[in-house]
Structure 1
Amino acid sequence: MKFQTRINKQSGLIYFVLALILSSPGILLAEEIGSVSTVFKVLGANDKIVVEAFDDPEIPGATCYLSRAKTGGVKGMVGVAEDTSDASIACRQIGAISLPENVKNGKEDGNEVFKKSTSLLFKSLQVVRFYDAKRNVLVYLAYSDRVIEGSPKNSISIIPITPWH
């Protein structure tokens, strides 16, 4: 009986962690394109810059490419390292874009379209979207935040909405 109870508790924990991962925005949306090492580490992985791509979940035809720092070493290998707030973003129209009404009327300004944890707790890299109706442009802002103290480091990219052939 004790063995069966332990298995049930472990299964419950596994399902809880999977549900948490699947419900977190951006975690499963990014696709790693590649990376380059920046600092050699004797133990564990090297520090590197990772390039990822993600599609805007609400706007088909809009894709963003994000480069970000990833800390290596033993702490990085076991998942307790805190990545720096350095990131850059470039977004492009890769297909026909038809804006949903909630974006057109500005109700979705500042809407989070991507989020990735950059430390064990409390720090994340986020991308939010704004719509500039006057210029018919989507604006994407990448920034890092922390529960106690955020970072002013940020990067923006725009997608002018044009006819797609």
Structure 2
Amino acid sequence: MQRSILLGGLLFGLCGSVQAESIGEVSTVFKWLGPNDKVVVEAFDDPKVAGVTCYLSRAKTGGVKGGLGLAEDRSEASLACRQVGPVEFLAPLEEGEEVFKERTSLVFKTLQVVRFHDRKRNVLVYLAYSDRVIEGSPQNSISAIPLMPWPVER
């Protein structure tokens, strides 16, 4: 019974992540079997802040393990968030709130983006980092968006 509950929880955790929109990719290492190693560029909108889109580039491991979803991707990622329209807060913001999460290994490793609001400077700050159940990585990327009035078309 306990095994069934544990397995169900693991499967639920694997299915619950939000998908980013694929913008493009480049191959970095040719693999004879399975897909090549590559760098992918993805975009996602902040779910609580209309008018903000983040662009994330990250390594994706190929080969047979990568093709089957069994490989562990590297921890490096780059993040650029931009104001793409009038900014509107759709709900109250929480400091350090997760706005994006994607698994980068079968079970234990994830890439996350969290948001902070620097009210003193009127800036949204986004931080991308990778973590594991046991030990995360200090590698990270940051992006800041000064909140500005958006020009109105006439």
Per the shorter chain, which TM-score range?
Answer: 0.7 to 0.9
Q: Does the 8 Å contact 1:29/1:55 carry over to 2?
A: no
Q: Does the 8 Å contact 1:60/1:98 carry over to 2?
A: yes
Change (3 A) 1:111 1:49: same
**Corresponding position: 1:79 with 2:69:** yes
Percent identity between the two aligned chains: 67
Select the structure of larger CA radius of gyration: 1
**Corresponding position: 1:128 with 2:110:** no
- List aligned pairs for 1:1-165, cutoff 5 A: 20=12, 24=16, 27-99=17-89, 102-103=92-93, 108-165=94-151
Q: Unmatched 5+ residue regions in structure 2?
A: 1-7
State the distance in 1 between where 2:100 and 2:77 align: 13
Q: Does the 8 Å contact 1:79/1:120 carry over to 2?
A: yes
Q: Does the 8 Å contact 1:128/1:141 carry over to 2?
A: yes
Q: Does the 8 Å contact 2:130/2:137 carry over to 1?
A: yes
SS in 2 for 1:96: strand
State the distance in 2 between where 1:115 and 1:89 align: 13
What root-mean-square deviation, in Å, do the aligned CA atoms of Structure 1 and Structure 2 show?
Answer: 2.0
The Cα of 1:150 is off from its aligned counterpart by 0.4
The one-letter amino acid of 2:54's match is C
SS in 1 for 2:89: coil
State the distance in 2 between where 1:101 and 1:28 align: 18
Q: Does the 8 Å contact 2:125/2:144 carry over to 1?
A: yes
Task: Tell me the number of residue pairs that the alignment of Structure 1 and Structure 2 aligns.
Answer: 143
**Higher share in helix:** 1
SS in 1 for 2:38: strand
Deviation per CA, 1:78-105: give whole Å up to 9, x if none.
11000000100000000111235622xx
The Cα of 1:22 is off from its aligned counterpart by 9.6
Tell me the TM-score normalized by structure 1.
0.81
Tell me the TM-score normalized by structure 2.
0.87
SS in 2 for 1:77: helix
